């Protein structure tokens, strides 16, 4: 007897995971998805409001997962003490493991699980991939909905004959051309990504159906399913689509994504947050710290109180230094320059400028 597969979706408080919940709810109502959120105790109020709005829209409770739930302190403060006041950083992301991943993996246990992840079609990152074999990640917003581990195993040269057989089961209309690509081995002249893109471009549905046939021969959670609804999906959603989904649904865009105007030396600029998560997230840019200081001064003050015993949120600057009037002016001037350079880029969203300037951040945190 096949094991019952659980379908789960983590609500981080960010725009992408919220839009994914709405998207799957409307497009695949037959999926019995369990929604959850990992609360650090250090989120902005807009995060909690988004979760409430989603619960109303979905008509379902979003399960609260909390690390150290028997502690009298917020989860972050509990573990900060255990780490001797050592603040998390890009080189030591204990917050992600202790506050997000551990509670999630404990909650799912050993059940076969499909975890839906809100990475968009205009992003080039992979996101959270669990090392537990009973958890399989799916990316519905992308053209390639499958995780890197699945693709790398499937497209190995030794799988060529098997791939041809699995494709034969799909009824693909362009099968002769597809098989030409399948039979061309991966090499320095024809990389895995090139082969993947070629197959997806020819027939995305057929590719998905072929992958599903492969998964039936594995121990991945989808091997327990007789069918998988998303194999027929050919949609690709990018940032503009995410905002549209949120606004059209009535759930709304979290307040911290909405740009706020400022003026410095007669020049006008705008700032906002680029991500959800803790208000003191160390992946924030300088301009986002200024945003926090000016828009949520009480939260900025709390963040400052964590900087002691030589530990700081930023490697090169303390929070008390970043809020000097001359430093704020400099940071805002730099932001205006960045925005000016980005004027000719394709997106009109301020957070695009923030994202591109400071990398991807911690993808694992946003589950």
Q: Are residues 48 and 131 in the same domain?
A: yes
DSSP secondary-structure letter at 100? I
**Same structural domain for residues 130 and 241?**
yes
- Compute the distance between CA of residue 158 and CA of residue 274 in angstroms, rounded to an integer: 43
Q: From CA 238, how far away is CA 294, in angstroms rounded? A: 30
Does a structural domain hold residue 283? yes
Instruction: Looking at the structure, tell me whether residues 193 and 244 fall in a common domain.
Output: no
Contacts with 323 (C-beta within 8 Å, 6 or more apart), sequence order: 290, 293, 300
Q: From CA 187, how far away is CA 168, in angstroms rounded? A: 24
Give residue for tokens 């950083």: 89
Q: Which residues of 168-197 are buried (b: 16+ CB within 10 A; e: fewer)?
A: eebebeebeebbebbeeebeeeeeeeebbe
Residue 365 included in any domain: no
In this prediction, residue 363 carries a pLDDT of 52
Question: Are 193 and 279 in the same domain?
Answer: no
CATH, residue 113 = 3.40.50.620
Residues 87 and 130 in one domain: yes
Number of domains in the chain: 3
Strand partners, 113: 6, 135
71 shares its domain with 136:
yes
Please answer whether residues 133 and 62 qualify as being in contact, where contact means their C-beta atoms are separated by less than 8 angstroms.
Answer: no
Assess whether 132 and 33 both reside in one domain: yes
**Per the domain annotation, does 364 fall within a domain?**
no
pLDDT score of 174: 93
- Does 231 reside within a domain? no
| Residue 51 shares a structural domain with residue 98 | yes
Q: What is the DSSP letter of 279?
A: T
- Is 366 part of any domain? no
Domain-embedded: residue 105: yes
For residue 98, being part of any structural domain is answered with: yes
Predicted pLDDT of residue 127: 65
Same domain, residue pair 127 and 42: yes
pLDDT of residue 311: 93
- Whose tokens are 């840019």? That residue is 285
At which residue do the structure tokens 């880029």 appear?
Answer: 345
Task: Let me know: does 285 contact 331? Beta carbons within 8 Å.
Answer: no
Residues 164 and 292 in one domain: no
Which candidate, 292, 333, 341, places its Cα nearest to that of 314? 292
Please give the pLDDT value at position 207. Answer: 98
52 lies in the same domain as 82? yes
Quote the domain boundaries for residue 88. Answer: 6-142+236-249
End position of a domain, from candidates 249, 281, 305: 249
Per-residue confidence of the chain (367 residues) as pLDDT tens digits?
Answer: 467 999 999 998 889 999 999 999 999 999 999 999 999 999 999 999 999 999 999 999 999 999 988 899 999 999 999 999 999 998 899 999 999 999 999 999 999 999 999 999 998 877 666 778 999 999 999 999 999 999 999 999 999 999 999 999 998 989 999 999 999 999 999 999 999 999 999 999 999 999 999 999 999 999 999 999 999 999 999 999 999 999 999 999 998 999 999 999 999 999 999 888 899 999 999 999 999 999 999 999 999 999 988 899 998 899 999 999 999 999 999 999 999 887 655 554 445 544 444 344 555 554 5
Q: What backbone phi and psi angles, to 5 degrees, belong to 113?
A: -135, 135
Give 81's contacts (C-beta < 8 A, 6+ positions apart): 73
Asked if residue 220 and residue 196 are part of one domain, the reply reads yes
Tokens of 225: 């399913």
pLDDT at 243: 94
| Whole-prediction pTM | 0.90
| Cβ proximity of 50 and 246 under 8 Å | no
Query: Which H helix or E strand runs over 57?
Result: helix 45-58
How many residues are listed for the chain in this entry? 367
User: How many whole angstroms separate alpha carbon 273 and alpha carbon 4?
Assistant: 39
């Amino acid at each position: 007897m096949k094991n019952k597969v659980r379908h789960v979706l983590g609500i981080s408080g960010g725009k992408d995971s919220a839009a994914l919940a709405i998207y799957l709810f409307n497009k695949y109502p037959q999926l019995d998805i369990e929604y959850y959120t990992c609360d650090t105790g250090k989120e902005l109020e807009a995060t909690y409001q988004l979760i409430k709005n989603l619960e109303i829209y979905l008509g379902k409770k979003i399960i609260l997962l909390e690390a150290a739930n028997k502690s009298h302190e917020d989860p972050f403060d509990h573990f900060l003490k255990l780490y001797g006041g050592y603040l998390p950083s890009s080189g030591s992301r204990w917050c992600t493991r202790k506050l997000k991943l551990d509670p999630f993996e404990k909650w799912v246990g050993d059940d076969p699980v499909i975890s839906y992840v809100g990475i968009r079609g205009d992003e080039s990152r992979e996101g959270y991939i669990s090392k537990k074999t009973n958890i399989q990640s799916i990316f519905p917003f992308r053209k390639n909905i499958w995780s890197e581990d699945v693709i790398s195993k499937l497209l190995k040269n030794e799988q060529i004959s098997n791939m041809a057989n699995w494709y034969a089961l799909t009824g693909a209309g362009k099968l002769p051309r597809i098989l030409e690509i399948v039979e061309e081995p991966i090499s320095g002249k024809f990389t895995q990504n090139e082969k993947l893109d070629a197959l997806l471009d020819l027939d995305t549905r057929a590719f998905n159906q072929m992958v599903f046939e492969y998964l039936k021969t594995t121990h991945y959670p989808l091997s327990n399913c007789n069918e998988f609804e998303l194999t027929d999906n050919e949609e690709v959603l990018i940032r503009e689509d995410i905002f549209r989904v949120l606004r059209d649904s009535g759930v709304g865009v979290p307040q911290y994504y909405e740009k706020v105007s400022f003026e410095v030396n007669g020049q006008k600029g705008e700032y906002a947050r680029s991500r959800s998560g803790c208000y003191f997230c160390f992946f924030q840019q300088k301009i986002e710290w200024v945003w926090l200081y000016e828009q949520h001064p009480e939260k900025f003050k709390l963040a400052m109180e964590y900087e002691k015993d030589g530990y700081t949120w930023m490697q090169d600057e303390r929070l008390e230094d970043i809020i000097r009037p001359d430093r704020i002016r400099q940071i805002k001037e730099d932001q205006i320059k960045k925005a000016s350079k980005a004027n000719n880029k394709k997106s009109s969203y301020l957070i695009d400028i923030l994202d591109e300037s400071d990398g991807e951040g911690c993808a694992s945190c946003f589950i």
